[in-house]
Structure 1
């Protein structure tokens, strides 16, 4: 019943507004009234005027910050230097779920030092986080820039390979990880992790395992 009252009230208010404010001519008043009644009929046909209101609450889900990934990056890549301050600020924004801002702060750092491989690597990770784990063209470009600037460093190959593996590009991830695992120190945690991931990739490529690293 409430829906009908609201609909009728709106029709009446609209007609009065057209009369008093719009000053429609007398000859057009019948046509205007007919048009409003036609709209009311459409509401009765398509809508549910007797249906009770059901307020909805909107839940805003923020991106999840991967603390373990950030710790791994700090262990393999930057600790000090000009890149560290930008990466620390980016990580802080990422923890708040502000993934776009986390990527933008790294772009600001890259405007100052465009040749910093750590910043390009951080940007790749930030863009992947912003895209809910998807390696976007922008993230792919950032990883490739990090690789080009630091071809012998372990961090670009490790994180680029990790992003590719999580996106199902298993052979590309293996091609990055295999030489890195071969050069990693014996008994190190990184080598053990890489060897395990490569073994899972080989099993998946052979059709023997369902899970990705």
Structure 2
């Protein structure tokens, strides 16, 4: 499934739900929250650039980590090189070995503190390792990635996804809006971030109409 198709289906689902719940506006919040988390899960785990594949066993614990890695590469040109450490860390992630991936990425940023993709990869791995939570080490890694990748919307995108997973919709919106404003024209992933931001704006507006807004830390 492509990103555009996923967003279109989500939008149609939201409009349909809003029509069904038009007399119960208080239920919009729950419906919108479920949709947001569905989008967050798709954005974090899906590999929209890959063709459809047969369903995999639930025993394949490395699947989500592999998809996370592939999603990260959506924000880099195919010609952008990855360091040997990032390549090795990605191989560990494919096997679900997040501890080893994080260790390899620590080596990457120690050897080359200016490797923006290594910092972004480390940030996302640390979030996954923490069960989807943003902790000080992952926040620091995101900050370094943002500083080293000016004009690249990737750090803002994944930081926003992490905020969504914590239920902080408005924080995610602010992160995405800033990332979209600072993204260079034609940057990989720029259009994706803009579409995701528009979708989130619709959901937040509906949630506000229902009387509930996303939480802040």
Which TM-score tier does this pair reach, normalised by the shorter chain? 0.5 to 0.7
User: Partner of 1:192 in structure 2?
Assistant: 195
User: Equivalent residues in 2 for 1:11-22 (5 A)?
Assistant: none
Q: Which has the higher contact order (CA 8 A, sep 6+)?
A: 2
User: Partner of 1:128 in structure 2?
Assistant: 127
How big is the shift at 1:128?
0.8
Partner Cα separation in structure 2 for residue 69 and residue 202 of structure 1: 29
Contact 1:170/1:205 (8 A) holds in 2: no
**Normalised TM-score (structure 1):** 0.59
**Normalised TM-score (structure 2):** 0.58
Pairing 1:112–2:111 present: yes
Contact 2:176/2:193 (8 A) holds in 1: no
User: Partner of 1:68 in structure 2?
Assistant: 67
Partner Cα separation in structure 2 for residue 76 and residue 68 of structure 1: 14
How big is the shift at 1:204?
3.9
Whose radius of gyration is greater, 1 or 2?
1
User: Partner of 1:150 in structure 2?
Assistant: 149
Question: Structure 1 stretches of 5 or more lacking a match?
Answer: 1-59
Pairwise CA RMSD of aligned residues?
3.3
Q: Deviations over 1:70-127 (max 9, x none)?
A: 2221120364556343222212212222111111110111111111111111100010
User: Partner of 1:138 in structure 2?
Assistant: 137
Contact 2:204/2:213 (8 A) holds in 1: no
Partner Cα separation in structure 1 for residue 159 and residue 105 of structure 2: 17
